[in-house]
Amino acid sequence: MSDVTGHDHSVQQSPLVSPKRTAYVYPSDLECDVTTGTGATLHMRPIRPDDADQLVHFHLNLSSGSIYRRYFSFHPELSENEVEHLTTVDYVDRLAFIVEDGDQLVAVGRYDRIPDTSEAEVAFLVTDRYQHHGLGLLLLKHLADAAFPIGITTFTAETQVNNRSMLGVFNDSGFPVTSSIEDEIVSLTFPIKPTEKSRARYAGRRKRPQGKGKGKHS
Ligand SMILES: CC(C)(COP(=O)(O)OP(=O)(O)OC[C@H]1O[C@@H](n2cnc3c(N)ncnc32)[C@H](O)[C@@H]1OP(=O)(O)O)[C@@H](O)C(=O)NCCC(=O)NCCS
CA distances from 99 to 102, 126, 188 (A): 9, 9, 24
Is residue 170 assigned to a domain? yes
Q: How many CA atoms lie within 13 A of 17 on its CB side?
A: 9
Span 140-166, pLDDT tens digits? 999 999 999 999 999 999 999 999 999
List the single range of 17-21, 74-78, 117-121 with lowest mean pLDDT: 17-21
Is residue 40 assigned to a domain? yes
Is residue 109 assigned to a domain? yes
Identify the bridge partners of residue 189 per DSSP, sorted by sequence position.
Answer: 156, 178
* pLDDT confidence band for 204 (50 / 70 / 90): low
Ligand 1 geometric centre to CA of 153 (Å)? 23
Ligand 1 geometric centre to CA of 140 (Å)? 11
Domain of 70: which CATH number?
Answer: 3.40.630.30
Which residue of 127, 131, 165, 187 sits with most ligand 1 atoms within 8 Å of its CB, as the best mutation to test the pocket? 165
**Are the CB atoms for 144 and 95 separated by under 8 Å?**
no
Relative to the CA of 66, which ligand 1 atom is closest? 41
Domain range for 75 is 28-206
- The span from the CA of 1 to the CA of 41, in Å, is 13
| 20-51 burial: b if 16+ Cβ within 10 Å, else e | ebeeeeebebbebebebbeeeebbbbbbeeeb
Kind of pairing, strands 41-46 and 104-113?
Answer: unpaired
Is residue 181 assigned to a domain? yes
Ligand 1 geometric centre to CA of 20 (Å)? 32
Relative to the CA of 62, which ligand 1 atom is closest? 41
Is residue 13 assigned to a domain? no
Number of domains the chain is built from: 1
Span 45-104, pLDDT tens digits? 999 999 999 999 999 999 999 999 999 999 999 999 999 999 999 999 999 999 999 999
* pLDDT confidence band for 201 (50 / 70 / 90): confident
Is residue 192 assigned to a domain? yes
- The span from the CA of 112 to the CA of 86, in Å, is 10
Is residue 8 assigned to a domain? no
The gap from C-alpha 39 to its chain's centroid, in whole angstroms, comes to 19
Least Cα distance to 29 among 19, 17, 41 occurs for: 19
Report which residue type is found at 140. Answer: L
pLDDT score of 215 more than 60: no
Is residue 19 assigned to a domain? no
pLDDT value at position 205?
58
Ligand 1 geometric centre to CA of 87 (Å)? 23
Closest residue to atom 9 of ligand 1, CA basis: 136
List the single range of 9-18, 35-44, 115-124 with lowest mean pLDDT: 9-18
CA distances from 217 to 26, 127, 143, 168, 178 (A): 38, 19, 25, 9, 20
Residue 107's contacts (CB-CB under 8 Å, 6 or more residues apart) are: 98, 99, 124, 125, 126, 127, 130, 135, 136, 139
Kind of pairing, strands 154-160 and 41-46?
Answer: unpaired
The predicted model gives 170-188 an average pLDDT of 97
> Which residues sit with their C-beta closer than 6 Å to ligand 1?
37, 66, 69-70, 123-126, 131-137, 157, 159, 163-166, 168-169, 205, 208, 210-214, 216-217
pLDDT value at position 40?
95
Which residue of 132, 133, 190 sits with most ligand 1 atoms within 8 Å of its CB, as the best mutation to test the pocket? 132
pLDDT score of 189 more than 80: yes
